[in-house]
Amino acid sequence: MKNSQQIKAVDFFCSGGGMTCGLTQGGVSVIAGIDNDPACQKTYEANNPGSKFILADVFDLKEADLAKTLKLKRNDDSLVLIGCSPCQFWSIIRTDKTKSMKSKNLLIEFKRFVDYFNPGYVLVENVPGILAKKDSSGLGSFVSSLEKKGYKVHFDIVNMSEYGVPQSRRRFSLLATRVHDKPIFPEKINKRLSVQDVLGEENGFDKIKPGHRDQTLFQHSVANLTEKNVLRLKKTPKNGGSWLDWAKDPSLKRRSYAGDGFKDNYGRMVWDKPSPTITTKFFSISNGRFAHPEENRALSIREGATLQTFPKKYFFHSNSIAGAARMIGNAVPPQFAKLLGQTIIKAHKKHG
């Protein structure tokens, strides 16, 4: 019986645990998360009891060693391997790729483990750019290899706002199974959540000033702003205003942009729409449309985490707002991961 055992998973490149959190909510037993960043360990372990954190670089990790450490069997129909590798190299955002050069081969390294364990299910989540460059990213050969081994593969560029996440977040998502005769994937959710559905005073977010530090587990802490940036926000209309509203003010004008450039920088979010993509820089108004819809400040740590659908009791262990934001922005939204987990469990039981 394929469903005689609970679905279990190993979360490669787990970061602070967004995928693990969501899969657990969906009923999957996540045995372990693997990451090479020690800054993620405390957050992962504190919020995901029962899931072991393995501090390791996947380039150095051996398949047989992982099997022994986690007591994993090969050809296990109830095993899920997850590869949500850091993806800056394949991002369409125009940034210096030098630092992320090594990450471009992470999917190829993950494939070693898929080939070795031959799990019942494989999950991959990444930036859309990995599909646009499927040959050089290794995605094309990865999918071909899965199909040759009998996996039914579904992959697409999905917008998380169609799956219960109050955020416009386009991602590449792949779900493969070798224990079913047809591909499986979560169904879309008709109702799209907006910023107003999850943020604001009625949702437990008190009004705060720039630089506010929340000493409680709620972490409604926000980065400080320069005096000039406070003035800029005061001139930015509430509920969706942008820097164009003060672009010609000589005292507020951005020297480096001279009236053009990224239109969303310094912009406010809109109450009745999903938020823009929550990146690792969501705490900074100069890095996107990350200003509060009404208050003259950027998003707080908890607000960013909530737009990513982390539970409000999920605590991010970090000595800085930037460190916490990095884990939040890099995460797979737990809500989407929950749907993936539920989809796998439902299909597994049906074909048991």
pLDDT at 16 over 70: yes
Question: pLDDT value at position 98?
Answer: 45
* CA 340 – CA 351 distance, rounded (Å): 17
Question: pLDDT value at position 261?
Answer: 52
Among candidate residues 156, 110, 158, the one with its CA nearest the CA of residue 131: 156
Q: Residue 153: which H helix or E strand, with range?
A: strand 152-159
For 88, which DSSP code? G
Total-model pTM: 0.92
pLDDT at 259 over 60: no
Summarised one tens digit per residue, pLDDT across range 216-237 is 999 999 999 999 999 999 999 9
Question: pLDDT value at position 85?
Answer: 83
Confidence of residue 255 (pLDDT cuts 50, 70, 90): low
Confidence of residue 14 (pLDDT cuts 50, 70, 90): very high
Q: Which residue has the higher pLDDT, 86 or 61?
A: 61
* CA 347 – CA 352 distance, rounded (Å): 8
Among candidate residues 230, 319, 316, 307, the one with its CA nearest the CA of residue 266: 230
* CA 331 – CA 86 distance, rounded (Å): 10
Q: Are 44 and 16 in contact (CB under 8 A)?
A: yes
Question: pLDDT value at position 1?
Answer: 37
Question: pLDDT value at position 104?
Answer: 54
pLDDT at 31 over 90: yes
According to DSSP, the residues that pair with 154 across neighbouring strands are: 175
Lowest mean pLDDT among 93-102, 136-145, 248-257: 93-102
Lowest mean pLDDT among 10-19, 130-139, 150-159, 294-303: 130-139
Active site residue 87: yes
Confidence of residue 130 (pLDDT cuts 50, 70, 90): confident
Q: Which residue has the higher pLDDT, 68 or 103?
A: 68
Q: Considering 14, 40, 84, 87, which one is annotated as catalytic?
A: 87
Confidence of residue 93 (pLDDT cuts 50, 70, 90): very low
Q: Residue 230: which H helix or E strand, with range?
A: helix 227-234
* CA 27 – CA 20 distance, rounded (Å): 11
Summarised one tens digit per residue, pLDDT across range 295-329 is 999 999 999 999 999 999 999 999 999 999 999 99
Lowest mean pLDDT among 94-103, 248-257, 324-333: 94-103
Confidence of residue 352 (pLDDT cuts 50, 70, 90): low
Collapsed DSSP state (helix, strand, coil) of residue 184: coil
For 290, which DSSP code? -
Residue 43: burial class (beta carbons within 10 Å; 0-12, 13-18, 19+): buried
Confidence of residue 3 (pLDDT cuts 50, 70, 90): very low
Q: Which residue has the higher pLDDT, 276 or 99?
A: 276
Q: Which two tokens stand for residue 177?
A: 């199974």
Q: Are 47 and 315 in contact (CB under 8 A)?
A: yes
Q: Is CATH 1.10.1270.20 the classification given to domain 8-191+332-350?
A: no
